[in-house]
Amino acid sequence: MSVLDDSARRPRSAPVSPEERGKPEVREKGAGGPARSPAALRMTSRQRAVLVLLLSSTFLLAADLPLLNVAIPVIGSGLGFAVGDLHWITTAFALTSAGFTLLFGRIADLYGRRLVFVTGVALLVASSVLGAAAQSPAVLIAARVAQGIATAMATPAALALMTTSFPEGPLRARALGVNGTMISLGFTVGAVAGGLLTGLLSWRWSFLVNVPVGLAIVVLSPVLLKESRAAERSRMDVPGAATVSLGLLALVYGVSRSPDLGWGSPLVLGCVATGAVLLGAFWRVELRADAPLASVRILRTPTVRWGNLGGFALITLQTAVIFLVTLYLQEVLGYSPLATGLAFSVLGVSAFLGGALAPRIIGRYGGRRTLVAGLVVQLVGPLGVFVSTGAQGGVVPVLAVLTAGAFGHVMGVVAYMVTGTSNLPDDEQGLATGLTTMTQQVALAMGTPVMSAVASGRIHALTASHPYDEAVLSGVRLALGVDTLVTALAAALVWFCLGRAPRRTA
């Protein structure tokens, strides 16, 4: 089935009789399931402990990518990286985390989700120690590859454990909503913490900060988490695993090499084309597979299809904005990593508020309106930075618009998690949550390489004839303009297509 087979195998809920409708019990809106007593809507103490543990892992894994972003220039000079090779600090992680997420999700289904989860977090701890001790570029890149593999193992397993720890309904919806918030909050706080650690201590602490939290998760997981695996062990979908993993690797690698080689390079074009062909083959394989890695059939449901598109746009474009603003602050304005981290700290507060208020906003206005509103408010970030940098307005207006954008981003991510799993019967919920996992990981991997390629192309073209800071500013503004345009198009597309989607009731 998918990375979350247990909930996908559950039978459809029984219809509610007219007599039951009259009982003074609590029901989940639109779920079509049996009535639930108020006690069923409250978490037990064990469930709260499980949620805290899993959310801690979500936060840790989401923060791992941006922790090093603000420290990349310092790492490069300290370990002797060539300027053209600096992007591999990010790309090595992105390649493996995106390329192997579905594969390890399926392995977790077959051999035990807790086992794969704990193994992934343990690997993250070990690779973080290796990265902190690195004395050469090769060792650091090896550590980043291992961290990417660790993320690909732990992320889908953690989400599967979450859905099997909470029953279908309000409790699971609440847990998934907070999980989506922690992903975006972790990315934002990771950028802040990376700057603070690099400025006050050393870039090596950006690796070491993972160790105590990771060790606590490894120790507590066997105590709090029950082992979970598919009810029936089916064979591994080897063609699906091969096509999606190789396809994503080729696509991300091709995009990441474009800043150095140019978009017209045979290698870049060949990798992108190969990636597209392999992902197309993956689609065909999944349509015919008896036990697919991810069921693409549920994409026929409009809320699933357009909800995931909205989520992909939210996460991809926001991660790119954080990278571009980091480049602007350090390379144009001359900020240190410490000052950059302090500047980003205001985004964490805004992101937290966006996640906290999102459930209420969704409850009042619905998932579609909240998702589109999140995209529109997030758009304020890149658009405002584009305008501010053109007018040389300094850092204050930049941070003001980024703060507004961070609120919209996290609010939209929660709405995408809800929308992407709505309008489905119980026996398809597992498939939908597995798809949202893939969307998150691919989006986190693609944002920075794509917009880095856009900015780097302009920077390389202008470096010979313009001062370096002017070339960087021009490249950053070009990428911010592209980011703004794509965000606006995504918002319009999601609004129009979800508006035409038929409302399905249970």
Query: What was the pLDDT predicted at 373?
Result: 92
pLDDT, one tens digit per residue, over 248-269 is 788 877 877 776 677 778 888 8
The answer to whether 109 and 5 are in contact (CB under 8 A) is yes
Which whole number is the average pLDDT over 409-423?
A: 81
**Model pLDDT for residues 87-103, shown as the tens digit of each residue:** 678 778 877 877 777 77
More confident residue, 164 or 372: 372
Return the closest-CA partner of residue 163 out of 205, 105, 219, 82: 105
How far, in Å, CA of 298 to CA of 283, rounded? 12
433 three-state secondary structure: helix
| Distance from C-alpha of 353 to C-alpha of 466, rounded to nearest angstrom | 42
Phi and psi, residue 237, nearest 5°: -80, 80
Bigger pLDDT: 70 or 126? 126
pLDDT band at 434 (very low <50, low <70, confident <90, very high): low
Task: Compute the distance between CA of residue 415 and CA of residue 358 in angstroms, rounded to an integer.
Answer: 7
Mean pLDDT, all residues of the chain: 77
Average pLDDT over residues 51-63: 83
Task: Pull the structure tokens for residue 400.
Answer: 């003001």
Q: How many whole angstroms separate alpha carbon 414 and alpha carbon 363?
A: 12
Q: Which of 107, 159, 50 is nearest to 440 (CA)?
A: 159
SS3 at position 26: strand
Under the banding of pLDDT at 50, 70 and 90, the label for residue 18 is very low
**Burial class of residue 306 in the structure, from the number of CB atoms within 10 Å of its CB (0-12 exposed, 13-18 middle, 19+ buried):** buried
Q: How far is CA 500 from the centre of its chain?
A: 27
Q: Are 22 and 314 contacting, i.e. CB atoms less than 8 angstroms apart?
A: no
Confidence bin at 431 (pLDDT 50/70/90): low
How far apart CA 65 and CA 91 sit, in angstroms, is 10
Looking at the predicted structure, is the pLDDT value of residue 226 above 60? yes
Burial of 456 (0-12, 13-18, 19+ CB in 10 A): buried
Average of per-residue pLDDT across 112-121: 90
Angle at which helices 367-390 and 395-419 pack, to 10 degrees?
160
> What is the per-residue pLDDT for 392?
67
Eight-class DSSP state of 228: -
What does the alpha-carbon distance between residue 178 and residue 200 come to, in Å, rounded to a whole number?
31
Taking 90 as the threshold, does the pLDDT of residue 282 lie above it? no
- pLDDT (average), residues 54-61: 83
Are 403 and 491 contacting, i.e. CB atoms less than 8 angstroms apart? no
Token pair, residue 75, equals 């790492």
Amino acid at 154: A
Q: What tokens were used for 387?
A: 């305008």
The pLDDT of 479-498, averaged and rounded, is 90
Neighbours of 288 (CB within 10 A): 9
pLDDT band at 28 (very low <50, low <70, confident <90, very high): very low
Which residue shows structure tokens 């880095």?
452
For the ranges 290-294, 395-399, 457-461, the lowest mean pLDDT is seen at 290-294
Binning pLDDT at 50, 70 and 90, where does residue 206 land? confident
